[in-house]
A and B are shown apart, each in its own frame.
Chain A
Amino acid sequence: MISPVKVTKRDDVPKKQVALILTVSIVLALVFSGIVLLFFDLNPFTVFGTIVTGALGSPMRIEQTLIKAIPLTIASLGILVAFKMKFWNIGGEGQIMMGALCASYVALNHGDLPQPLLLVLMAAASIAGGGVWALIPAAFKAKMGTNETIFTLMMNYIIIKFVMYLQYGPWKDPASKGFPKIPMFSENALLPNVLGLHAGWIIMIVLVAAVYFFINYTKKGYEITVVGESLETARYAGMNIPAIIMTAMFVSGGLLGLVGFVQASALEKTLTWGLSSNYGFTAIITAWLARLNAITTLFVCLAFALLLQGASYIQLSMNVSSAIADVVQGVILFFVLGSDFFLRYRVKWVGLKNAGEVKL
């Protein structure tokens, strides 16, 4: 193919240039989304403006934005650990659900325990539940090389259907007069507010630091990175690859399970089959945008929480479907995925005159 551009590989990209290319691609994505909105007779400036005021316009809206940032950040940390290893965990929804289920089991059966003890038990149960749910596909991957993408995804549907079964069947609150809901948790099972926001934010900040430390400064974290970058290298270095895969996936699923605990305890105050609210999927986008860096993840998630809260606000105020958030997220990620190219390759315009000599 004869082409007027010449593409060569590049290794060293200055940090400034990385930031510039990322900014340009996000701006382009927003411009593109704006053009799409125009097709639907929507003024992009009004829509984006309303998203921002809807997310930050009052203390209550800011609280709502943060309440969305907490599960999204913790979920992204979980995804990050798996993706660092190039283990494509798209079972986040199910791991959140399993965590919520296990925490709820504790809350519903031991609601009279003292609050601190009960909350710790619920959190531990959610980590164990989400972790084990992730460990199943991980074990098959580690021992038999089973494809994890479809495996983890199918695990989502199984556990969500199971929680539906519980909600409409054995766990249905007899006092709710036929309305299919699971009984509310006792007071002791609810996460308290700290400084006006439910305590999930403390868990979130601790975990951002912990995951950052785990990936960058521990032996296990290093091994996960090596396995992700090159299985050959990991094998050559004598690493126990199956053990690394399983540990990382237990951590990943455990973090996602914890999201289930936070959502059930602080937000829904019970178990519902919809409580994962797509965070398990959105987290894939945010973790990738953050280039699998825990600290960056926090900021990306804050920005995405703003988008999510703003979108649910425009649904009410402008009668525009909140699905616009998914569309804009998708467009942003397409542009960022594409922009990666310009970080890895140098594209040089050589003109059509010289094109004959440079073959692509």
Chain B
Amino acid sequence: MESFLAAAVIAAMPLLFATLGELITEKSGSLNLGVEGMMLMGAVIGFIVAYGTGSPSAALLGAFAAGAGGALVFAVVTVTLRGNQVVTGLTLTIFGGGFARFVGDPLVGQSVPKSVQAFFAQAPMPGLSEIPALGPIFFRQDAFVYMGYILVILVSLYLYRTRPGLNMRAVGENTAAADASGVAVDFHKYAHIIFGGGLCGLGGAYLALVTVPIWQADVVTGRGWIAVALVIFASWNPTKAFFGSFLFGALSILGFRLQSMGFHISQYLVDMFPYAATIAIVIVSTHKNRREDLPPADLSVPYFREER
């Protein structure tokens, strides 16, 4: 059981980074459906940089920049040029997939260099890893996972305890009021779309550098979309996003576990489960009506001052 839950944490990481990225984007009022594309861009650039330099930090930086770059395109088209958010996000997903296959084409089948693999090898946290039950599950992981934990805390603090976090939530909840009180609307939208995209890129990088350290063009396989659903599941709350990702990580590896326990069930049928569960979540979360569970009021509502 412990080993299963520890594996679930690893499976959860790409989802966690992408979910937090999309959560930040949505909190500032934009619905970017390009998560899958940004994850793929982050995955391929992270892999290429790791492959070329052997430096884990450069690889992470590259992956962040790639996801942020995709998000920047989204921001220009939807914020400045006021294009349709849904179609722009979908385009970003298609573009990102093509980008990853095109740019990564010469590297298919290559492995992540040993130096990078070693950096992301399991490293038990002194002290914490000795806690009964929790230690082996959460604190005998790799450096990337610890980054994920820290990120959950930082994003929560940022959203609920800082002035810029308050301002960006104001932009997402009531853009006109935020604008009237002097918050730079476009600046906040740009900044959070881009940062959110960077996190999605990191989520993709986890898949390409740690989960399967061999390049293959279809690494993300719908996880970006599950992340979009997880934001709803988590009712736009970073802590809940962590538990949601953990739950889905566990679901996604449940098939292997059941088979190894002797249940004869087709892998393909088990693979359907996370997607079906996502649908169930989307249906159930339609019925939330507590104030704090609702989406940002001005989510994906275009805002043009001159049209007020």
Instruction: Indicate if the CB atoms of A145 and B286 lie closer than 8 Å.
Output: yes
> Which one of B93, B268, B278 has the greatest number of beta carbons of chain A within 10 Å?
B268
Instruction: Indicate if the CB atoms of B275 and A154 lie closer than 8 Å.
Output: yes
Which of A216-224, A231-239, A326-334 touches B?
A: A326-334
**Complex CA–CA separation, A250 to B229 (angstroms):** 24
Instruction: Indicate if the CB atoms of B102 and A337 lie closer than 8 Å.
Output: no
State whether A288 and B268 are in contact (beta carbons under 8 Å apart), knowing that A150-B282, A330-B94 are contacts in the complex: no
How far, in Å, is B93 (CB) from chain A's closest CB? 8
**Complex CA–CA separation, A158 to B99 (angstroms):** 26
Instruction: Indicate if the CB atoms of B82 and A344 lie closer than 8 Å.
Output: yes
Residues of B close to A1: CB separation below 8 A: 184, 186
**Which residues of chain A (165-224) have a CB below 8 Å from chain B?**
165, 168-169
Residues of A close to B88: CB separation below 8 A: 334, 337
**Complex CA–CA separation, A331 to B94 (angstroms):** 10
Across the interface, B278 reaches (CB within 8 A) one of A8, A140, A150, namely A150
Instruction: Indicate if the CB atoms of B268 and A144 lie closer than 8 Å.
Output: no
**Complex CA–CA separation, A324 to B272 (angstroms):** 30
B86 located at the interface, meaning its Cβ lies under 8 Å from any Cβ of chain A in the complex: yes
**Which residues of chain A (70-94) have a CB below 8 Å from chain B?**
88, 90
Instruction: Indicate if the CB atoms of B282 and A162 lie closer than 8 Å.
Output: no
B84 located at the interface, meaning its Cβ lies under 8 Å from any Cβ of chain A in the complex: yes
State whether A341 and B271 are in contact (beta carbons under 8 Å apart), knowing that A90-B90, A325-B98 are contacts in the complex: no
Q: Which residue of B lies closest to A327 (CB)?
A: B98
> Which one of A151, A153, A281, A324 has the greatest number of beta carbons of chain B within 10 Å?
A153
**Which residues of chain B (77-98) have a CB below 8 Å from chain A?**
77, 80-84, 86-88, 90-98
- Interface of B, secondary structure class, is helix
How far, in Å, is B216 (CB) from chain A's closest CB? 13
State whether A326 and B269 are in contact (beta carbons under 8 Å apart), knowing that A147-B282, A147-B286, A321-B105 are contacts in the complex: no
Instruction: Indicate if the CB atoms of B98 and A329 lie closer than 8 Å.
Output: yes
A299 located at the interface, meaning its Cβ lies under 8 Å from any Cβ of chain B in the complex: no
Instruction: Indicate if the CB atoms of A285 and B225 lie closer than 8 Å.
Output: no
**Complex CA–CA separation, A15 to B102 (angstroms):** 37
> Which one of A90, A150, A326 has the greatest number of beta carbons of chain B within 10 Å?
A150
Instruction: Indicate if the CB atoms of A330 and B92 lie closer than 8 Å.
Output: yes
A338 located at the interface, meaning its Cβ lies under 8 Å from any Cβ of chain B in the complex: yes
Across the interface, A330 reaches (CB within 8 A) one of B95, B225, B286, B305, namely B95
B-contact 0/1 string along A1-33, CB 8 Å cutoff: 100000111000000000000000000000000
Instruction: Indicate if the CB atoms of A155 and B92 lie closer than 8 Å.
Output: no
A-contact 0/1 string along B275-298, CB 8 Å cutoff: 110110011001100000000000
Instruction: Indicate if the CB atoms of A284 and B105 lie closer than 8 Å.
Output: no
Across the interface, B268 reaches (CB within 8 A) one of A162, A285, A360, namely A162
Instruction: Indicate if the CB atoms of A157 and B283 lie closer than 8 Å.
Output: no
Residues of B close to A154: CB separation below 8 A: 225, 229, 275-276, 278-279, 282
**Complex CA–CA separation, A151 to B228 (angstroms):** 11
Across the interface, A326 reaches (CB within 8 A) one of B73, B98, B283, namely B98
Size of B's binding interface in residues, CB under 8 A:
50
Instruction: Indicate if the CB atoms of A326 and B95 lie closer than 8 Å.
Output: yes
Instruction: Indicate if the CB atoms of B94 and A281 lie closer than 8 Å.
Output: yes
**Complex CA–CA separation, A139 to B279 (angstroms):** 13
**Which residues of chain A (299-357) have a CB below 8 Å from chain B?**
321, 323-327, 329-331, 333-334, 337-338, 340-341, 344-345
A164 located at the interface, meaning its Cβ lies under 8 Å from any Cβ of chain B in the complex: yes
Residues of A close to B81: CB separation below 8 A: 337-338, 340-341
A146 located at the interface, meaning its Cβ lies under 8 Å from any Cβ of chain B in the complex: yes
**Complex CA–CA separation, A239 to B122 (angstroms):** 60
A149 located at the interface, meaning its Cβ lies under 8 Å from any Cβ of chain B in the complex: yes
**Complex CA–CA separation, A164 to B278 (angstroms):** 20
Instruction: Indicate if the CB atoms of A284 and B90 lie closer than 8 Å.
Output: yes
Residues of B close to A281: CB separation below 8 A: 90, 93-94
**Complex CA–CA separation, A153 to B305 (angstroms):** 34
A-contact 0/1 string along B226-242, CB 8 Å cutoff: 00110010000000000
**Complex CA–CA separation, A164 to B268 (angstroms):** 7
Across the interface, A337 reaches (CB within 8 A) one of B33, B83, B93, namely B83
Instruction: Indicate if the CB atoms of A288 and B97 lie closer than 8 Å.
Output: no
Would you mind naming 25 contact pairs between A and B with Cβ atoms under 8 Å apart? A9-B307, A90-B90, A140-B286, A144-B286, A147-B232, A149-B33, A149-B228, A154-B279, A157-B272, A164-B271, A165-B266, A168-B268, A281-B90, A281-B94, A321-B102, A324-B102, A325-B98, A326-B102, A330-B94, A337-B91, A338-B77, A340-B81, A341-B81, A344-B82, A345-B82
A9-B307, A321-B102 given; 10 more Cβ-contact pairs under 8 Å: A147-B232, A149-B33, A150-B229, A150-B279, A158-B272, A327-B95, A334-B91, A338-B76, A340-B82, A345-B82
For the complex of A and B, 3 pairs with smallest distance between CB atoms: A326-B98, A330-B95, A323-B101
